[in-house]
Amino acid sequence: MARILVTDDAAFMRMQLKNIFQSLGHEVVGEAENGQVAIDLYSELKPDLVTMDITMPEMNGVEAVKNIKANDPGATIVMCSAMGQQQMVLEAIQAGAKDFIVKPFDQDRIKQALEKIF
């Protein structure tokens, strides 16, 4: 069972991910609505995994990944992207993200990503 921090500016997306993770037997320990909140919660909660939306107000996902990885090179981060964000996904992977999942979320794809990581 992984302890997960879900980051997305849309409450609906956070709820959807939370439900999927819980149905797969994982625990969502926190939710962040932007990159800055994710950084703060990451250092406080020390989750096993962070899901990171790419496009968010205040601080985008790529900047948040760089920041979290700078403080904890061992951090496990999976990007969540809408179609058409390949360039941003590539930047995030280069910054240290382990994988990406595309919206709308598919439970089997999320399960696959988790199995690959853990």
Mean pLDDT computed over 1-17: 97
**Which residue shows structure tokens 């320990």?**
29
Model confidence pLDDT, tens digit, residues 27-66: 999 999 999 999 999 999 999 999 999 999 999 999 999 9
Model confidence pLDDT, tens digit, residues 59-91: 999 999 999 999 999 999 999 988 777 888 899
Give the CATH number of domain 3-116; options: 3.40.50.2300, 1.20.1540.10, 3.10.129.10, 3.20.20.220. 3.40.50.2300
Instruction: Give this prediction's pTM.
Output: 0.95
Phi, psi (deg, nearest 5) at residue 102: -100, 140
What is the pLDDT confidence band of residue 101, given thresholds at 50, 70 and 90? very high
| Degrees, nearest 5: CA angle 25-41-69 | 90
**What mean pLDDT value characterizes the chain?**
95
